[in-house]
Chain A
Amino acid sequence: MSALSSHLLEEIKALPAKYPQPRSAVMPALDLAQEELGHLTPEAMSEVAVALQLDPGYVEGVATFYTLFHLEPVGKHRFYVCTNLSCMLRGAEDVVDRLKAAIGVREPGEVSKDGLFSYEEVECLGACEYAPVVRLDHRYEVDLTRGKIDSLVNDRRLVRSHVKTGVRSSLDTTPEPPRKKPVRRTKKSG
């Protein structure tokens, strides 16, 4: 039983042809693997190495070098909170505190109990004009306020419960937050 699906491995094997140096494919390959698994396990890195004809140690070295490759389990939704200058001046610390309370974790990288969320602090996301900014999965959420953070979190919690009951199918089709719905506050939020 391999860690990565066979069609993904096929996709990875096709990558080196795109680069002058075949080993350049290691980053996109790891990206694909992480997309599928959420984080990179040693097994997944070994399989990427075999697929690209590299040594697992080399792949591991690359994976540990970049913070956006996760070697530990992360939440299904990841908040990348900018704590660089502009965001910091516009209240990034508050954003971090609020987010920690909303998802119920104490430190970066910790996964919330429901497995849905984790957060990390990152350097400039290049959207200073909208500070404070957070990257939520592959989307920027800008001009953050406490309420906005809560709703970002709660929406995703609700989506999950909807998915469970089969009411909604995917996050991408979610319209603006349905604010009227009862919001389940986390106990720690204050």
Chain B
Amino acid sequence: MPDVKMVNVTIDGHVVTVPDGTLVVEAAKLVGIEIPVFCYHHKLDPVGACRMCLVEISPGPPVAQAGCIRPVADGMVVKTQSAMAVQARADILEFELVNHPLDCPVCDKGGECPLQDFTFRHGYPTSRIDGPRLHFQKPIPLSPNIALDRERCVLCYRCTRYYDEVAWEQELTVAERGVHSVIASQFDQPLTSNFSGNIIDLCPVGALTSRLWRFESRPWDLHHTPSVCSKCAVGCNVTLWQRRGQLVRVTSRENDDIDEGWICDRGRFDYTDVNDPARLRVPAVHGSKTTWAVALNTVADGIKGKGSKLGISLPQDLTNEEAFLFRRLLDGPLRGAKVKMHGRTALPAPSGEQLMIKDIDDARVIIIVASDTENDVPIVNLRVKKAVSKRGAKLIVIHPDAVDLDRHRETVHIRNQPGEAAAEVRKLADHELLHEPGGPVAILYGDGRGSEDAAGLVAACTELAAKVGAKLMPLYRGTNERGSLELGVAGWDSLDGVEALLSWGPPPTAGVPASVKFHAVWDHLPRPEHQNASVVLPATSFAERQGSYTNLEGRVQFLRPAVDAEAPLKESWDVLCELAAALGLPLDYVGIFPIQREAAKAFPALAALAQPPSPEPEPVPVLMGPARP
């Protein structure tokens, strides 16, 4: 790591020492001064398109300059409040509003809109614009989930730059030019990227809005809860937004160690099942509603003492706490049961030091084996793209089919025969890119969705890692697959031939075996497979759950319930404790914290459970804005 030169800059009288190359807007943030921006985004390359960030910089020409593309220099003096700068920004805002429809009262962005906020803080108090405004058809559906309002757009190009730089796609482009420029999807076709939803968060105005949350409520009417996404093993941090007991939207919550503020469309839009009016809420035995006690006793009678004749299907998103309790059941009354976890890979629990997601940034060569990262671990896929396109890492992909990482011209794609990935990995040791990688090497491996022999592949990758000095990252798919593996409950057994079946979460992927005589279901939605179930227990959804997940790199993160699990719905740990009692194993925990403390003691990998962080989100620093011009 070369030493970075530090420079001193004066911003509105505050002296701040920052690394050379820091942009003026970033330096100003450090001393709590807001320089307003539209086109600038700290995760995108600066472009200087909107001129909202004009400040006076000396030494320099006597004009207002864009602070978002200007790196600091030693001795630079920045004035954000000089008459010139204040007026320049107000003028820019006046231009931004020339064609803006000012429909804030019906705009979903209203209340959390930078354009609205900046107009209040930096703009002229009255408008001089009385000419005709540009009109477009609106809203234009960009995809089933995203609507585009071209009249509100200020052409900051954040969305198209994100598509180009981060997602490596060109589905969204700028059409036409000058004042007639518009954001357009390629040939007006719907967006298909798995990463499209991020443009809603990026948009600094109400031009890109969610169609799922359109005209539903105002942002200030929502309660938000910091939580963790439950759709895959990456563990992106999200904010869940609740209103009147409904989960109304999911947005990203930046965590530079994992997601860098991006989430995939599955995490963002796949939440409507939480509000489904058909949700199961009352336990039922043979189709008639009953109490929890009766239902759980029926389940206990049905599954007790069955040994290997009992099959259990686990959801992919069970929490560590649930897995811990379930482990107690497996060690006790349910010993010998066959367990099959949903959506998991065939990969074994990791051993030794693993690669962290953050470390992908610094890798010089990245090898991805037998994983369609775009769909299996979407946000890791974005991290790989960043390392390749912004940091110049070389990429080698071993996969039988075309993958979206092929979009980079220099990607080396080795197409193996399905099942032959391990052989290709062994050949890689002599690859020219690995002779002198010039830095860390990262090997990310999946299981080819079952097409590869996992044990052989892990051995081959470990061997290669030892030869070239690389670090390994197993790409699990199941949300808490890694936690469940560490707790020893992530079964991989076939459920064929079992007589009793407890299907927790969605029904087994292979279907309910014909041999099942007693079928208990614990799910949050009614499904056709439940028709012949003896007992149906209502389950909580991810929005009502508390507990923790271990993500694919082994990081333990805490879920927080955004929506209350209202009676008769019971939290899963509570149900498991009562089921255990019905099975003759007294587990009397009074809440989730004692479970977490005990799990932390019993499993070193869960040590983080002993001290859950405060559920209160860190306050957002308030940046000083200037007075009106």
Contacts and interface: CB of A to CB of B under 8 A. Distances in A.
Contacts of A58: 170, 173
Contacts of A115: none
Interface string A12-42: 0000000000000000000000000000001
Contact of B187 (A53, A56, A65, A66): A56
B176 A57 contact: no
B136 to A, nearest CB: 14
Contacts of B169: 55, 57
A61 B175 contact: yes
A60 interface: yes
B186 A56 contact: yes
Contacts of A56: 170, 186-187
Nearest to A61: B173
A189 interface: no
Contacts of A42: 187
Interface string A126-166: 00000000000000000000000000000000000000000
Contacts of A60: 173, 175, 184, 186-187
A169 interface: no
A174 interface: no
B172 interface: yes
Contacts of A5: none
Contacts of B185: 57
Contact of A57 (B173, B177, B409): B173
A190 B448 CA distance: 75
Contacts of B409: 53
A56 B175 CA distance: 12
Interface in A56-74: 56-58, 60-61, 64-66
A90 to B, nearest CB: 27
Interface string B439-481: 0000000000000000000000000000000000000000000
A144 B361 CA distance: 64
B96 interface: no
A61 B187 contact: no
Contacts of B34: none
A55 B160 CA distance: 13
A56 B173 CA distance: 10
Contacts of B171: 57
A64 B160 CA distance: 15
A21 to B, nearest CB: 12
Contacts of A57: 169-173, 185-186
Given A53-B409, A56-B187, A57-B186, A64 B175 contact: yes
Given A42-B187, A60-B186, A55 B175 contact: no
B170 A64 contact: no
Nearest to B168: A55
Contacts of B176: 64-65
A186 B185 CA distance: 42
Contacts of A61: 173-175
A57 to B, nearest CB: 3
Nearest to A45: B187
A55 B186 CA distance: 9
A57 B168 CA distance: 12
Contacts of A64: 175-177, 184
Contacts of A65: 174-177
A55 B170 contact: yes
A13 to B, nearest CB: 16
Interface string A104-139: 000000000000000000000000000000000000
**Most B C-beta atoms less than 10 A away, residue of A57, A61, A64, A65:** A57
Given A58-B170, A60-B175, A65-B175, 19 more contacts: A42-B187, A45-B187, A53-B409, A55-B169, A55-B170, A55-B186, A56-B170, A57-B169, A57-B173, A60-B173, A60-B187, A61-B173, A61-B174, A61-B175, A64-B175, A64-B177, A65-B174, A65-B176, A66-B177
Interface of A: 42, 45-46, 53, 55-58, 60-61, 64-66
29 contacts: A42-B187, A45-B187, A53-B409, A55-B169, A55-B170, A56-B170, A56-B186, A56-B187, A57-B169, A57-B171, A57-B172, A57-B173, A57-B186, A58-B170, A60-B173, A60-B175, A60-B184, A60-B186, A60-B187, A61-B174, A64-B175, A64-B176, A64-B177, A64-B184, A65-B174, A65-B175, A65-B176, A65-B177, A66-B177
Those 7 A-B pairs whose CB atoms lie nearest each other, nearest first = A55-B170, A57-B170, A57-B186, A61-B173, A64-B175, A57-B173, A42-B187
